[in-house]
Structure formats: C-alpha cells, structure tokens
C-alpha cells in the first residue's frame, strides 16, 4: 500500500509526525511525504522536522505565500504532476489549511481516494477560511478520521455514509505525549527569564483577529491590563508581526513592559512554555487541544471553536474578543476558578496506530 502524505503549514507537522513513525513500523506501508511549502521560514517548518523526527519530504512544491486563490491554485498546479508520477493508493491530508484542500481536490479529480485526518470539525463560521477548507475536504474524502465526538456528529448530520467515518482520536496528542519528557529539558524559561515567575502564554494569528485593526486594538486593550498583573510571553506568528506593523501598533506593544514579543519558538520550547504557564490566551486551534491535555487554563480569543470537547471536558473557555469579557474571564482564572479538566476520549497517544489500522483495512 502506497500512501502520499501532505504537509504545508506548521500545525500539519505535529499531526503528520506520529503517522510517519507508525507507517515506518509497518512493512506493508510505503509512505511518501510531500511538503507544499505553504510555510517556509526555518522556525515555521524545518525546525519542527528536526525536533519531531519527521523524515525529509521527498518533494517540496515551494509554493510560498500568496492570496487564497493564488496559493491554492499554485498548490494544485504543482501537485498534479507529482501525483501523476507517484500513483499512490490514497492521498492523506491533515487539518484545515489551504494545502489540505488544494491537494485534496487534485487527488479526487485524478481518481485517487482522499483520507482526511481531523475530519468533521466545524466552527459553523463560514467567514473563517479554515471552515470552508474543512467542509470541502470532508465532502470529497473517502476515509474521514475524527479526533473528537463532535466531528462524528457533524458528519452524520451532514449525511455522510457511516462506513466512511472513523473515530480514532487526536494525533496531535500523540506528538505531545511523545515529546513531553524532552520538552522538560528545554531551557526556554531561563532564556526568557521566566524561571520561577508566573507568566501566561499568548498566541494570535487568526485573520479575523489580527487583520482587523479594531478587533486587534481591543485585544491590545485587554493585554495592556493583563500584563500589568501577569507577565505575558508572545511568540508572534509572521502574519501577526506583519499586521501589527501595518496597523502601526508597534509602539503600543513596546510600551507594555511585561509583554515579551518573541519569534515563533520550536515545538519543545513551546510545549515547555505551555506546561508551566498559569494560563494561555490564544486563537489557535491546536493550542486549545494541547492545554486541555496539559490541564492548563486556556482563554480562547474567538467567538467560537470547532473543538467543543476542549470546552466540555477540558480547560478551554471561549471568551471572544471584547476586552471586558476577556478581563472578566481572566480575573476568574486568577482567582483560581478554572478546573484542571480531563483528557477527551481517545486522546491517549495511540491515535496514529488506530489510523494506520483503518488504512490497512481499507487500502491494504
Ligand atoms: C495558515 C492557515 C491557518 C493555520 C496557520 C497555522 C490557511 C488558510 N491558513 O495561516 O489555518 O492556523 O497557517 O500557523 O491555510 N508567512 C511568513 N513565513 C512563513 C509563513 C507565512 O512570513 O513561513 C507570512 C506571510 O506574510 C504570509 C502570512 O504569513 O502571507 C500568512 O501565511 P499563510 O500560510 O497564508 O496563512 P497563515 O496565517 O499562516
Ligand atoms: N506552536 C509552536 N511554536 C509556537 C506556536 C505554536 O510550536 O511559537 C505549536 C503549538 O504547540 C501547536 C501548533 O504549533 O502544536 C499550533 O499551530 P498554529 O497555532 O500555528 O495553528 P492552528 O492550530 O491554529 O491551525
């Protein structure tokens, strides 16, 4: 069985790592890895290959950054000849980025079955580019691998054939569990002079937050207040750095003496930062899941989540982008109101094995 696996953006790398490991243990599986090059900075891509032990991709399409239409079209144009040459039994895509849907469309139009890891997640917010990618990818996939119960329910409600749906758990948590011990040796707290101090971690990169100057300004209002109470460390995504510059918010950030803006950090350092944080403020998808398993309170700076299990059983709260609401939720967490939550079903470090079992059954 030959599987062609796609990665493009940072969060794809934590998802593919345990799968590549699992394939390597199974003699019946030949796995080829294709990187679209959607993310290309050292600290958004290569660093994760090294830290997570992901094999070098056999092919890099080097598409880089562009508008949605241009980026997706470039992915499709450059992936088609690769797929024609490789002739796999299936194409495996993860997550909800432009590389996921771009390669997915190419696969099904060439008659190659598509497998979607992290299927069925829905924010029900179609202004979110990822929601469009999720809906379209699931609509054309033959094997739909769900990370949480809501994914299964959403697909059933959309009328997807039961035989295509598999509840396998969360591969991102496989990666977290495998690297937790190594992350403990990270020196990041000393490097950022956070050792022995309470701090919170902040990440922001959703276009709805950082591309809109009014929303971003409101978030900065809340952060101004929070950093006076608790030091904030902010590994800033390149999109966010560009938007802060464009909107002229640099001086406001510089004036926040207890908010430390740093470059995006590698997985091990980031996992250490999350593990020791008093709380996390984020609009990331994956970080809502990681904080749930780590038992660290997470305030999600969005109006919705496609990962409701992190709220139902985990440590996540959806607090939106209104500064008053953020500060209110922050105050409650500081008073110790947040529980430690528990791990959702099948977030047990074994998801990649269950996925490979399904793939061997269907395509072996
Ligand atoms: C993408 C995904 C998003 C995911 C995020 C993870 C889509 C539609 N969006 O958003 O779902 O949560 O990745 O991080 O696929 N840039 C660099 N260097 C890089 C990569 C990007 O400087 O290595 C800058 C460029 O200015 C680029 C911008 O970041 O224009 C946005 O990159 P892009 O991949 O288009 O979207 P993300 O915001 O990263
Ligand atoms: N992450 C990281 N370094 C950082 C920020 C995030 O290693 O500076 C990791 C994080 O632990 C998670 C993944 O990147 O595994 C989440 O990616 P991102 O927030 O970019 O995307 P999303 O999950 O929102 O699609």
Q: What are 284-315's pLDDT values in tens digits?
A: 999 999 999 999 999 999 999 999 999 999 99
Give dist(CA 292, CA 349) in Å, integer: 14
Counted residue by residue, the chain has a size of 364
Q: What is the DSSP string of 240-303?
A: HHHHHHHHT-HHHHHT-TTEEEE----HHHHHHHHHH-SEEEE--HHHHHHHHHHT--EEE-SS
| Cβ of 234 below 6 Å from ligand 2 | no
- Does position 210 have pLDDT exceeding 80, yes or no? yes
Nearest 5 degrees, angle CA 274-CA 278-CA 281?
Answer: 65
Residue nearest to atom 30 of ligand 1 (CA): 65
DSSP class of residue 235 equals: E
Q: Answer yes or no: is the C-beta of 295 below 6 A from any ligand 1 atom.
A: no
Residue 7 Cα to ligand 2 midpoint, Å, equals 14
**Measuring CA to CA, which residue among 131, 126, 326, 308 is closest to residue 215?**
326
Confirm whether pTM is higher than 0.85. Answer: yes
SS3 113: coil
265 in ligand 2 pocket by Cβ < 6 Å?
A: yes
pLDDT interval class at 337 (50, 70, 90):
confident
- pLDDT tens track for 149-201: 999 999 999 999 999 999 999 999 999 999 999 999 999 999 999 977 899 99
In this predicted structure, the answer to whether residue 348 has a pLDDT above a threshold of 80 is yes
Mean per-residue pLDDT for 15-23?
98
Mean confidence (pLDDT) of the chain: 98
Note the pLDDT of residue 340: 85
- Which of 122-126, 138-142, 195-199 shows the lowest per-residue confidence on average (mean pLDDT)? 195-199
CB-CB contact of 260 with 233 (8 Å): yes
Q: What is the pLDDT of residue 338?
A: 83
Q: At residue 280, does pLDDT exceed 80?
A: yes
pLDDT at 273: 98
Strands 165-167 and 298-300: unpaired
**Cα distances (Å, whole numbers) of residue 160 to 118, 119, 122, 145, 155:** 15, 11, 14, 12, 5
pLDDT at 4: 98
Q: Among residues 39, 116, 205, 237, which one is catalytic?
A: 205
Split at pLDDT 50, 70, 90, the class of 232 is: very high
pLDDT value, residue 127: 96
Whether 143 contacts 364, CB under 8 Å: no
How confident is the model at residue 196, as a pLDDT?
Answer: 77
pLDDT tier at 339 (50, 70, 90 boundaries)? confident
**68 belongs to the catalytic site:** no
pLDDT at 197: 82
Does residue 267's CB lie within 6 angstroms of at least one atom of ligand 2? yes
Nearest CA to ligand 1 atom 11: 97
Q: Which atom of ligand 1 approaches the CA of 68 most closely?
A: 8
């Amino acid at each position: 069985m030959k599987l062609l696996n796609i990665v493009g953006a940072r969060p794809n790398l934590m998802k593919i790592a345990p799968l590549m490991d699992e394939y390597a243990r199974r003699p019946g599986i030949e796995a080829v890895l294709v990187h679209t090059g959607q993310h290309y900075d050292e600290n958004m891509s290569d660093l994760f290959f090294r830290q997570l032990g992901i094999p070098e991709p056999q092919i890099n399409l080097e598409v880089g950054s562009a508008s949605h239409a241009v980026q997706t079209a470039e992915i499709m144009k450059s992936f088609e000849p690769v797929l024609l040459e490789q002739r796999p039994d299936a194409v495996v895509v993860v997550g909800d980025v432009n590389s996921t849907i771009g390669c997915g469309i190419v696969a099904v139009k060439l008659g190659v079955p598509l497998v979607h890891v992290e299927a069925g997640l829905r924010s029900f917010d179609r202004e979110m580019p990822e929601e469009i990618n999720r809906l379209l990818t699931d609509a054309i996939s033959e094997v739909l691998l769900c990370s949480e119960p809501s994914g299964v329910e959403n697909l059933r409600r959309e009328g997807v054939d039961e035989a295509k749906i598999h509840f396998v758990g969360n591969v991102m948590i496989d990666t977290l569990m495998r690297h937790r011990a190594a992350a403990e040796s990270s020196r990041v707290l000393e490097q950022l002079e956070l050792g022995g101090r309470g701090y919170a971690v902040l990440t922001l990169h959703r276009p709805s937050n950082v591309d809109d100057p009014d929303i971003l300004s409101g978030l900065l209002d809340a952060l101004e207040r929070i950093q006076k109470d608790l030091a904030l460390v902010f590994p800033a995504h390149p999109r966010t750095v560009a938007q802060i510059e464009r909107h002229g918010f640099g001086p406001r950030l510089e004036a926040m003496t207890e908010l430390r803006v740093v470059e995006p950090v590698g997985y091990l350092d980031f996992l250490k930062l999350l593990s020791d944080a008093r709380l996390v403020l984020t609009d990331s998808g994956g970080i809502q899941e990681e904080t749930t398993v780590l038992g660290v309170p997470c305030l999600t700076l969005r109006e919705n989540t496609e990962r409701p299990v992190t709220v139902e059983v985990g440590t996540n709260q959806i607090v939106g982008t209104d500064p008053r609401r953020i500060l209110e939720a922050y105050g409650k967490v500081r008073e110790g109101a947040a529980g430690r939550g528990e791990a959702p079903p099948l977030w047990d470090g074994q998801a990649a094995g269950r996925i490979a079992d399904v793939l061997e059954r269907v395509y072996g």
